[in-house]
Amino acid sequence: MDRLILININQLVTCKGKAPKKGAAMNDAGIFSNGCVVIESGRIVAAGSVPEVFSKFKDSDCEILDCSRNAVIPGFVDSHTHFIFAGSRPDEFAMRMAGSTYMDIMDAGGGIVSTVSKTRLAGLEELTTQGMKRADSMITFGVTTVEGKSGYGLDRDSEIKQLKAMKDVNERHFIDVVPTFLGAHTVPGEFTGRSNDYLEYLLKEVLPVVKKNNLAEFVDIFCEKGVFEIEQSEYYLGEARKMGFGLKLHADEIVSLGGAELAARLGAVSADHLLKVSNEGIRAMAEMGVISTLLPTTAFCLKEEYADARGIIDSGGAVALATDFNPGSSFTNSIPLVMALAAIEMNMSVEEIIIALTINGACAVNRQNEIGSIEAGKKADILILECPSINYLPYNTGINLVQKVIKDGKVVYDKYEKHEYR
Ligand code: NIG
Ligand code: FE
């Protein structure tokens, strides 16, 4: 019997229960003191307190992992990233610190399109190799599932190359990768002034190939003033839905355009960013159960106001948190920084933060039945922290407190031992 039992857990944070967790339920992280988790063949078979669980499962040849009175939580789900790209843009960071805005830089011909030029030139193997290194780093922060977006190719073959790189990383690395098609990230040079033609091109020439080869689960769009407007986004995502894709939007980031309302009308899985979301948008999303994916490191790096996490949660909404790791607006995959900003700048409680990075993140990538909580039947994607309770996560500000990462029931990372990630 291939059985592993985690014992001596000071605080077991299961995040169990109805998903997504909305409103006040985001404060209920399903916590047990003196916890115990039983794993068999990569899956969780029981989780609870030692007196409830241990004696039922202990047998002579099971393996015991002593968690030394530390806290144990589900693996993190980084549900919004753009981690496959070539090149970097440090000059833009310096320009922003000197006063330029993200859109100034984009309007002047920089931003996304400069990463597109480099990514088009890169080979598949080069993108995959970079992606593997980035996944190595994510694992050390406790990320066991990551969503990744295309959107730096903006033509059929280059978009497909990005998606294939994600597929390769998914196959070669312990980390699970959920692929999203973001061909509608911006209008490429070949289609300048013809954004509708570009969207038709994506719908007719690219998305059918993506679907046929099963290269993406979601379709996303940068719905923003001067990029893709509401009507265009509505049409494009409506067509993508007919093709069987789940929907996501970069919504209400720079201008309050009605992206959140659109996400609710379309029944999107998530709307992301939401720095400028309206109260009506918050209400509509809460009613329709659309996840609000908030990206505090992006607001931080763009020197923007943070999204209204309190308003969303207090209106009964479900919040997920993610890094938005990309070469422009958030060149960081730091989960500790996300947690620090969510606590200090967005007034989220530590329970809300953990829920937002686990089960609600899982909902944002439609994997809530497989991951995101420590419950019987789910994949054993579990973190052992080096602190007795989750209160230390924002308090030990910006510090990575992940000691061991268990992926599919196996310890794949240990901060204090030589390890292999792949
Ligand atoms: O989510 N806002 C649009 N897209 C990305 C940034 C992409 C880039 O600047 O390369 C984001 O922030
Ligand atoms: Fe993004």
Separation CA 194–CA 268 (nearest Å): 26
Interhelix angle 335-344/350-357, rounded to 10 degrees, is: 140
> 219 CA distance to ligand 1 centroid (A)?
15
Nearest CA to ligand 1 atom 8: 328
Nearest CA to ligand 1 atom 9: 328
Q: What is the mean pLDDT of the chain?
A: 97
Q: Which residues surround ligand 2, an ion (CB under 5 A)?
A: 324
Q: Whose CA is nearest to atom 1 of ligand 1?
A: 324
- Tell whether pTM > 0.75: yes
As a whole number of angstroms, the longest Cα–Cα distance in the chain is 71
> In CATH, what class is 3-74+373-414?
mainly beta
What average pLDDT score do residues 54-79 get?
A: 95
Residue 422 has pLDDT above 70, yes or no: no
Residues whose beta carbon lies within 6 Å of some atom of ligand 1: 82, 111-112, 115, 222, 250, 253, 298, 324, 326-329
pLDDT at position 11 over 90: yes
Residue nearest to atom 12 of ligand 1 (CA): 329
8 Å CB contact between 367 and 378: no
pLDDT tens digit sequence for 137-171: 999 999 999 999 999 999 999 999 999 999 999 99
Domain boundary assignment for the chain: 3-74+373-414, 77-364
Is residue 252 a contact partner of residue 279, using CB atoms and an 8 Å limit? no
Report the pLDDT averaged over residues 2-12: 96
Q: pLDDT at position 421, please? A: 63
Amino acid at 238: G
Task: Give distance in angstroms: CA of 209 to centre of ligand 2.
Answer: 23
Taking residues 60-73, what's their average pLDDT? 95
Nearest ligand for residue 255 CA: 1
Atom of ligand 1 nearest to the CA of 182: 4
State residue 60's pLDDT score.
75
Q: If DSSP codes are grouped into helix, strand and coil, which group holds residue 151?
A: coil
Closest listed ligand to the CA of 326: 1
Task: Say if residue 61's pLDDT is above 90.
Answer: no
**Region 330-334: what's the mean pLDDT?**
98
In whole angstroms, give the CA distance from residue 100 to residue 346.
25
| E strand segments, 322-396 | 382-385
The first and second tokens of residue 135, run together, are 């996944």
Q: Quote the pLDDT of residue 59.
A: 85
**Residue 201 CA neighbour count, 13 Å, CB half:** 16
- Whether residue 1 is predicted with pLDDT greater than 80 in this model: the reply is no
385 has pLDDT over 70 = yes
Ligand 1 atom with the shortest distance to the CA of 272: 1
Q: Which ligand is nearest to the CA of 224?
A: 1
**Atom 5 of ligand 1: nearest residue by CA position:** 329
CB 206 within 8 A of CB 159: yes
pLDDT digit string, tens, across residues 206-258: 999 999 999 999 999 999 999 999 999 999 999 999 999 999 999 999 999 99
Architecture category of domain 77-364 in CATH: Alpha-Beta Barrel (3.20)
**In which element (H, E) is residue 40 found?**
strand 31-40
Ligand 1 atom nearest 273 alpha carbon: 1
- Helical (H) or strand (E) element with 297: helix 296-301
Exposed, middle or buried by CB within 10 Å (0-12, 13-18, 19+), for 156? middle
* Mean pLDDT on 351-375: 99
Range of weakest confidence among 99-113, 176-190, 394-408: 99-113
Confidence of residue 419 (pLDDT cuts 50, 70, 90): low
Tokens representing 82 are 């753009």
